[in-house]
Amino acid sequence: MNFQDMPKVELHTHLEGCAPPEFIRMLAKEKGLDLSGIFNADGTYAYRDFDHFLEVYEAACTTLQGPQDFYRLTKAVLEESASHGVVYQETFISPDFCGGGDLGAWREYLAAMEEAAAEADRDLGITLRGIVTVIRHFGPEAGKPAAHCGVETFGGFVRGFGMAGGEMVGRPADYSYLFDQAREAGMPLHCHAGEWGGPSMVQETLDHLKVDRIGHGIGAIDDPALVQRLADSGVTLEVCPGSNVFLGAVDSWESHPIQKLRDAGVKVTVSTDDPPFFGTTMTREYEMLNKTFGWTKPDFDEVNRTALAAAFCDDATRQTIAKRLDIA
């Protein structure tokens, strides 16, 4: 079975976290920045644990200093994704890294990303949409400018609002104002939860932020009542198995709960998160799901149908992607 060429929908990626290491090294050289400390000898990203990963991630982002850099980044990311069969991708984009929360600057960065995405759609057959994301470990007050940027640019390329970053900073209720603001603007909502915080973090995220999708969410498996709530509500989980294994959120592929969640009726999808940081691709995710749980084309077709139904895109785009997937 050729997993690489199989058409795929991917809902959980971070634009900067998808940057190939060689791309970041190239930008660092162009700008005279010494980022040698964030790379291993083989050229891959180097970090010790999740907290250090966040530091390395933000160090890599220092090379991205203007809209043109984000144009180039978007092109590089989509070329890589398309090579692994991805036909539709949603990515988290943060005004904090694109103009520091200034709306005027954010619009310029956004225009550059949109231009690159349109070219990739035309040339590579991959469609990209953005989810404006506040950075949790920056704190709720710091999230207000980013949320404002999201609300003001919602529609077209920007399809939703969410939160990423250090999950154990604060509690979901601390950020409810930001999500209320986005909800009032009609934005679909996402939040990272349950990768590290266990079922209580998933529960509180559902209660206080009222999201449509949860990034990861795997900690829910330890609370049967919560699993049933997810199944009954139809909230979709953006599961990133390779990322979870690589970071140690679970011990192994064999112990990953994606199959148990799916068997319980929870809507699950498959994504790579930050693929070059975690040594994965969508092809590898499919290969490992096949090897570990015996998933075959009908399973992947079902997961892609689930992902497309949960995507934050408009109906016209959804119909276009359905044709690319060619699944009943």
Measured CA to CA in angstroms, residue 281 lies from 86, 90, 285, 299, 308 at distances of 10, 15, 6, 18, 19
Measured distance CA(322)–CA(326) in Å, rounded: 6
For residue 190, which phi and psi values (nearest 5 degrees)? -135, 150
Known catalytic residue at 195: yes
Measured distance CA(158)–CA(151) in Å, rounded: 9
Say which of 80, 90, 195, 238 is annotated catalytic: 195
- Determine whether 326 is exposed, middle or buried from the number of CB atoms within 10 Å of its CB (0-12, 13-18, 19+): exposed
Which of 37, 105, 33, 119 is closest to 77 using CA atoms? Answer: 119
198: its two tokens: 């266990």
Measured distance CA(95)–CA(136) in Å, rounded: 13
Name the amino acid, one letter, at 119: E
- Determine whether 1 is exposed, middle or buried from the number of CB atoms within 10 Å of its CB (0-12, 13-18, 19+): exposed
Q: Indicate which residues carry an active-site annotation.
A: 195
